[in-house]
Amino acid sequence: MPSRTCSHSPSGFGKSLPEQGLLLLVVLVLLEGSVLPLGAASSPDVSHQDDSHNHKVADHGVNATKKVFPVLDVDYHHIQTPFEISLWVLLASLMKLGFHLIPRLSSIVPESCLLIVVGLLVGGLIKLAGEQVPPVLDSRLFFLCLLPPIILDAGYFLPIRPFMENVGTILMFAVVGTVWNAFFVGGLLYAVCQIQPANPSSLHSIELLHCLLFGSIISAVDPVAVLAVFEEIHINELLHILVFGESLLNDAVTVVLYHLFVEYAGVGTVTVMDGFLGVISFLVVALGGVLVGAIYGILAAFTSRFTSHTRVIEPLFVFVYSYMAYLSAEMFHLSGIMALIACGAVMRPYVEANISHKSHTTIKYFLKMWSSVSETLIFIFLGVATVDGPHSWNWTFVTVTVILCLVARVIGVVGLTYIINKFRIVKLTTKDQFIVAYGGLRGAIAFSLGFLLDQNQFAHRKMFLTAIITVIFFTVFVQGMTIKPLVELLAVKKKQEAKRSINEEIHTQFLDHLLTGIEDICGHYGHHHWKDKLNRFNKKYVKKCLIAGERSKEPQLIAFYHKMEMKQAIELVESGGGVKLPSAVPSTVSMQNIQPKKPPPAKAAERALPQLPKGREEEIRKILRSNLQRTRQRLRSYNRHTLVADPYEDGFSDLLIKKQKMIELEKKIKEMNNYLTVPAAPPDSPTMCRARLASDPQAYSMKPVSDSVPVIQVDLASPQSPDSVNVMDEFRRANQEEDQGLMMKPPQGSSGSNKPGEADTTRDQQRLMRCLSDPGPSADEDEDEPFLP
């Protein structure tokens, strides 16, 4: 999962900045503390004000006393609610900012802990000021506003492949594990409460069903807490997806158990029939949620097919459809979380094939931003609600709850793993089991569910809430803080940071087909067979419906390859085309090292057509590079309804056509080579240095000509023959009509025939060019077919 936390600021900033940051935080907290009590008056007060205001107006007609015209007036109530909301969001964001300015703190203590502490402080301040703490963790606010962004972010970026490979394990943990936890904790808690020592403790009055309800609330692993903690420890993909997937999928179980017990706690008895209905209900809730999500996902994908003319609102469709999926599921009491996940996961491959690169970036950053703010707010509110919430501390109940939760989790994980390992190929080791068990954090969902309980119906609500908060604090603080050192200690495999290479992608696909083939030869329908069938169905029918234009036929490997090219090209441009290498591994290998050498011609005296001397090649590259940069700077401002056609965007068919034109152009240049008499500039010539500098956008002194690609000053090589200028002109003319897209790789001289002695002039830039993945055409004479018919 990409991290939502920003990187550490350089410590070279000195101590003053963190101190200033802290000061700012304190000031803001105080401000918050003082303003909020003012605003703690809720709507009845506002309407009261209105009434009195009306009164005044009415009186005014009768009494007509002249008031001085108010030049400056303060009307807080007018803007109260949005102002408070903004203030909370601002506080949350500044907190987040502040933590990362303090260098060592964020590496020791996970962010979630710090935020809860801040919440406690704020709540404490408000209480000290004597005002009533606003009911911030109101269940409606939580479930309808704070939770969806986090879940959508998780669902949209869910790594599908590992999720699907482990879906059986995840479901086992989510369903069976949660049910086990609920009954174990609830049942044993009831037993412990009953066997209380003689003094008629209030605990005796707890009913079994209430305990079971409490058990079901407390037993669900919380996705928000898991995300917050696991994101910082970077464990390997398998464990991450196991714990995280479990936390998402157990929502259905929690919903069913919760409603079941709430319903029947009033009545007092549960029959077998009810239990059976509960199971059916679970299936309906889970599958129904997924179905609702999938429907909205397909709608979103279908809509995105037509957005090529209104790129600006593309991200909106993603967000709105997903949110509506969540709300629709909640309307039917289905699992909203599963709906959201299904919606995000279903729509993603199709939407991403349809939308522009900018929309993709927008969606990514908006989701990260919202989920980050939401998460921060949730933890702060948890702290505030702790200070505020009605508490009823009972030592026995609370400590037994905490212990039982831990024990139940461990037994559950160990037991289930034993069963699961019989069916898994890649078995879960003891270390894995430990991490899965230890990573079962509880969070705000449990608290909100507890908060929803009716005080009249559940006499022990306060005690429940206290216990829930204690468990949450325990898991988040103790487990959250210690999991990182434990992961280091146990040497658990960490996440592989390396980017996926094209070789890996080729072989993953190859392996898929190979294993499917072997399964077919063996004659049994294993899961490769079904996966292959699904893929073919997808390619044949679904993609045609949901993806616009030519992209619908693009095989996955090619899509991956194009994406990689795009990324490299963008990196290249963003690095200013300068000396910095875009690739991870600096190497001097280029296409000419790989292309098979042409057999040397029969006569030694006669050489193959003289290829472009390296210096000339360099100049051409420089021209291309500079043109590309110019194009970036040329983007005009856009009105709200359209965006200027993005040079990176115009579809890959355009790109390929451009490539073909480039190739033809290069062929022409090669032919003209004979006329070129200019020697390449020596390495340290001022032209070369200027050339290097010239790649840097700031150093550029060219003035953009309004409609055409700007003319390159002819300083690049010293004495220019008129013919070489013609070459440049050719380029300019060729480039003028088009908004030049990605940097195309200039022609590669076929190996071996470069003029000796010019080998190392512009090593750096060459290295740069050669790292581009698109090799361009080989310069073999016999290769007649154009790149694209």
Partner 1 sequence: MSDFSVEQIKNLHKRFEQLSGNEETISRENLENIPALANNPIRRQIIGAFFDKRNQHQNEVGSFEEIGFEQFLMVMSHFRPPTLKTTEEERETMRKEKLRFLFNMHDTDNDGTITLEEYRKAVEELLSKSGAIGQEAAKAIADAAMLEVASTNVPHMAPDDFYEGITFEHFEQILKGLEMESRMHIRFLDVDTTTMHCGRSTS
User: Residue 637 corresponds to which tokens in the numbers above?
Assistant: 């401002």
Q: Decide: is 583 part of the binding site for partner 1 (CB under 8 A).
A: yes
CA angle, residues 376, 379, 380, in degrees to nearest 5: 85
Nearest distance from C-beta of residue 765 to partner 1, angstroms: 13
The window from 13-21, 480-488, 592-600, 673-681 that contacts partner 1 (CB under 8 A) reads 592-600
Candidates 9-17, 84-92, 412-420, 502-510 — which segment interacts with partner 1 by CB under 8 A?
502-510
Q: Is 444 within 8 Å of 385 (Cβ atoms)?
A: no
- Pick the closer one to partner 1 by CB: 26 or 511: 511
Candidates 244-252, 303-311, 394-402, 548-556; binding stretch for partner 1 (CB under 8 A): 548-556
Answer yes or no whether residue 503 interacts with partner 1 by CB under 8 A.
yes
DSSP state of 717: S
- Confirm or reject binding of residue 502 to partner 1 (CB under 8 A): yes
The answer to whether 510 contacts partner 1 (rule: CB under 8 A) is yes
| Contacts to partner 1 from residues 381-440, by CB under 8 A | 421, 425-427, 429
Q: Is 9 one of the binding residues for partner 1 (CB under 8 A)? A: no
Among positions 375, 554, 617, 618, the unique one binding partner 1 when judged by CB under 8 A? 554
Asked if 189 is part of the footprint of partner 1 (rule: CB under 8 A), the reply reads no
| Residue 555 binds partner 1, judged by CB under 8 A | yes
Residue 561 backbone zone (phi > 0: left; psi -120 to 50: alpha; other: beta): alpha
**Least distance CB 430 / partner 1 (angstroms):** 10
Instruction: Report the residue from 545, 594, 609, 711 that binds partner 1 according to the rule CB under 8 A.
Output: 594
Of 13, 76, 365, 525, the one binding partner 1 (CB under 8 A) is: 525
Distance, in Å, from the CA atom of 106 to the CA atom of 76, rounded to the nearest integer, reads 37
Single residue of 504, 574, 723, 781 touching partner 1 by CB under 8 A = 504
Q: Site residues for partner 1, window 735-764 (CB under 8 A)?
A: 751-752, 754, 759
The distance of closest approach from Cβ of residue 418 to partner 1 in the complex, given in angstroms and rounded to an integer, is 12
User: What's the half-sphere exposure (Cβ side, CA atoms, 13 Å) at 752?
Assistant: 13
Binding mask 454-493 for partner 1 (x = CB under 8 A): ----------------------------------------
Tokens of 560: 């991956």
Exactly one of 126, 343, 569, 591 binds partner 1 (CB under 8 A); which one? 591
In the DSSP assignment, the letter for residue 454 is -
Does 513 interact with partner 1 (rule: CB under 8 A)?
yes
Q: Which is nearer to partner 1, 368 or 529 (CB)?
A: 529
Query: Which of 213, 655 has the CB closer to partner 1?
Result: 655
Residue from 106, 394, 433, 592 binding partner 1 (CB under 8 A): 592
Pair 335, 252: CB distance under 8 Å: yes
Interior CA angle at 36 toward 18 and 476, to 5°? 55
Q: How many residues touch partner 1 (CB under 8 A)?
A: 68
Q: Is 17 in the site for partner 1 (CB under 8 A)?
A: no
- Between CA 190 and CA 588 the distance in angstroms is 71
Contacting partner 1 (CB under 8 A), which of 108, 280, 478, 518?
518
**Strand segments (E) across 430-582:** none
**Is residue 160 a contact point for partner 1 (CB under 8 A)?**
no
- Secondary structure in 3-state letters for 276-344: HHHHHHHHHHHHHHHHHHHHHHHHHHHHHCCHHHCHHHHHHHHHHHHHHHHHHHHHCCCCHHHHHHHHH
Spatial distance between the Cα atoms of 737 and 631, rounded to a whole number of angstroms:
12
Nearer to partner 1, 490 or 511 (CB): 511
Q: Which of 495, 567, 597, 667 binds partner 1 (CB under 8 A)?
A: 597
Closest CB 504 distance from partner 1, rounded Å: 6
Report phi then psi at 494, rounded to 5: -95, 175
Q: In b/e form, how buried is each residue of 360-376, taking b as 16+ CB within 10 angstroms?
A: eebbeebbbebbbbbbb
Contact with partner 1 (CB under 8 A): which of 283, 506, 545, 689? 506
Kindly state the tokens that stand for 2.
Answer: 């990409």
Q: Which span sits near partner 1 by CB under 8 A: 20-28, 29-37, 101-109, 551-559?
A: 551-559
What is the DSSP secondary-structure string of 387-445?
Answer: HHS-----HHHHHHHHHHHHHHHHHHHHHHHHHHTTT-SS---HHHHHHHHHT----HH
Stretch that binds partner 1, among 477-485, 583-591, 661-669, 675-683 (CB under 8 A): 583-591
Closest CB to partner 1 among 66 and 524?
524
Pairwise CA distance, residues 93 & 88, whole Å: 9
Helix-, strand-, coil-residue percentages of the chain, each rounded to 5? 70, 0, 30
Q: Per rule CB under 8 A, is residue 608 in the interface with partner 1?
A: no
223-233 and 111-128 helices, crossing angle to 10°:
130
DSSP bridge pairs for 235: 494
Residues 227, 233: Cα–Cα separation, whole Å: 10
What are the residues binding partner 1 (CB under 8 A)? Answer: 421, 425-427, 429, 496, 498, 501-504, 506-511, 513-529, 532, 536, 553-555, 557-558, 561, 564, 583, 585-597, 751-752, 754, 759, 770-771, 773-775, 787-788
